[in-house]
Amino acid sequence: MWIFVMFDLPVTSKAESRAATKFREFLLDEGFEKSQFSVYARFCSGKEQFDAYIRRIEANLPSQGEVHILTFTDRQYENIVRFSGRRRRKQQKNPGQLALF
């Protein structure tokens, strides 16, 4: 499954700007990829891992702003239509299953 974190955080003061930057850096440290400026995505292996990420995100939320978290199945993620400029981008494939020995 995929987790998408979308947010709209105020940046009108230095403190708000620092809080927004800290939240973006937190998401990157947690392994999220920047999809767009305020949209970050990450693959997770299942419901338990998803719940763990939700708890960590909740513990690091800025005091103001809106944060929305969506989940997509692998099949839904593969069917996302993407454009770069006016060109359609190729469909992304899900990462292969990780095997540890």
> For the chain, how far is it from start to end, CA to CA, in angstroms?
23
Predicted TM-score (pTM) of the model is 0.81
pLDDT beyond 60 at 99: no
Q: Is there a domain that residue 12 lies in?
A: yes
Contact 9, 16 (CB under 8 A): yes
| Separation of alpha carbons 1 and 43, rounded Å | 6
How many structural domains does the chain have? 1
The reported pLDDT for the residue numbered 23 is 97
| Separation of alpha carbons 58 and 52, rounded Å | 10
Q: Is there a domain that residue 99 lies in?
A: no
Tens of pLDDT, residues 22-53: 999 999 999 999 999 999 999 998 899 999 99
The CATH number of residue 17's host domain is 3.30.70.240
Q: Is there a domain that residue 93 lies in?
A: no
Q: Is there a domain that residue 101 lies in?
A: no
> Quick one: pLDDT band at residue 97, thresholds 50, 70, 90?
low
Q: Is there a domain that residue 49 lies in?
A: yes
The reported pLDDT for the residue numbered 5 is 97
Q: Is there a domain that residue 54 lies in?
A: yes
Q: Is there a domain that residue 100 lies in?
A: no
Give residue 12's Cα distance to chain centre. 23
| Separation of alpha carbons 91 and 82, rounded Å | 7
pLDDT beyond 50 at 101: no
Q: Is there a domain that residue 37 lies in?
A: yes
Tens of pLDDT, residues 45-86: 889 999 999 999 999 999 999 999 999 988 888 888 888 887
- Look up the domain containing 15 and give its range: 2-88
